[in-house]
């Protein structure tokens, strides 16, 4: 226990980095994933095929491979926004494909009559999506979106390989310097991830209760 108390400042700082990764990559993935879902279910066949290809490629590419491509590939093109934003980009590209499919499944769960009724009142496709379909579908996809954000939280551990001192990187450093305290270090790091995951679960539960349809 003493090893955790002595390094509490380092642990808090490293998990703040983990939380920043989750918040920034999660928010950008929700926005980009929603755009992709709109492209997939929209009437424009070119956009539909492009979004389908994107999902197929990025959902089936291992995140580690994507991180390697982004972090070592973009600097070759003279694009150097910094390690934090390169990691955010890779996490967003990967997670957005899962968000897209979750939202698409939510949209498909809405009866077709809802869209037809909206169209009959004179609403266009974008207005129908914005005011009728998406508000209902988001209610249905809160649990799968929460699961995606929880998976993103655990995926941030790969960023320890690429220049970011987050939770997993701190665990490695502590283990190297204190190998005899292995179990306490594991327990402390696991607790940090559990706190973040529980925050996501509580937020998702609150949204479900607020949006519950009687």
The CATH number that applies at residue 169 is 1.10.3720.10
pLDDT at position 147: 93
* pLDDT above 70: residue 197: yes
Of 28-32, 111-115, 196-200, give the lowest mean pLDDT range: 111-115
pLDDT at position 93: 94
Contact present, 182 and 23 (Cβ < 8 Å): no
Alpha carbons within 13 A on the beta-carbon side of 69: 12
DSSP SS3 for 42 = coil
Distance from the Cα of residue 178 to its chain's centroid: 33
Angle between helices 45-59 and 83-108 (to 10 degrees): 120
Q: Which two tokens stand for residue 3?
A: 């090893």
* pLDDT above 70: residue 213: no
* Per-residue pLDDT band at 214 (split at 50, 70, 90): very low
Between 7 and 24, where is the model more confident?
A: 24
Count: domains in the chain: 1
Between 203 and 164, where is the model more confident?
A: 203
Instruction: Give 130's contacts (C-beta < 8 A, 6+ positions apart).
Output: none
* Per-residue pLDDT band at 68 (split at 50, 70, 90): very high
Q: Alpha helices, DSSP H only, in 7-82?
A: 8-41, 45-59, 63-73
* Per-residue pLDDT band at 3 (split at 50, 70, 90): low
Share of the chain above pLDDT 70, in %: 95
39-54 pLDDT tens trace: 888 778 898 899 999 9
DSSP SS3 for 162 = coil
Average pLDDT of the residues in 159-164: 82
- Spatial distance between the Cα atoms of 65 and 70, rounded to a whole number of angstroms: 9
pLDDT at position 1: 65
* pLDDT above 90: residue 210: no
Which of 105, 139, 106, 132 lies closest to 212 in space, CA to CA? 139
* pLDDT above 90: residue 160: no
Domain residue limits at 27: 2-211
When the pLDDT of each residue in the chain is averaged and rounded to a whole number, the result is 85
Alpha carbons within 13 A on the beta-carbon side of 75: 10
pLDDT at position 152: 94
Between 130 and 33, where is the model more confident?
A: 33
């Amino acid at each position: 226990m003493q090893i955790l108390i002595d390094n509490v400042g380092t642990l808090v700082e490293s998990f703040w980095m983990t939380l920043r990764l989750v918040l920034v990559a999660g928010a950008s993935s929700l926005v980009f994933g929603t755009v992709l879902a709109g492209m997939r279910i929209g009437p424009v066949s070119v956009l539909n095929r492009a979004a389908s290809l994107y999902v197929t490629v990025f959902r089936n590419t291992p995140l580690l491979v994507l991180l390697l491509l982004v972090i070592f590939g973009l600097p070759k093109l003279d694009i150097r926004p910094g390690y934090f934003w390169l990691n955010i980009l890779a996490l967003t590209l990967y997670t957005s494909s899962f968000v897209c499919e979750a939202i698409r499944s939510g949209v498909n769960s809405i009866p077709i009559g809802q869209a037809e009724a909206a169209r009959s009142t004179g609403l266009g496709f974008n207005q129908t999506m914005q005011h009728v379909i998406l508000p209902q579908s988001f209610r249905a996809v809160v649990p799968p979106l929460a699961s995606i954000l929880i998976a993103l939280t655990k995926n941030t551990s790969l960023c320890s390989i690429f220049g970011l001192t987050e939770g997993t990187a701190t665990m490695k450093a502590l283990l190297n310097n204190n190998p005899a305290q292995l179990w306490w270090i594991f327990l402390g790091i696991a607790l940090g991830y559990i706190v973040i995951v529980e925050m996501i679960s509580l937020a998702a539960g609150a949204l479900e209760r607020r949006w519950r349809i009687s």
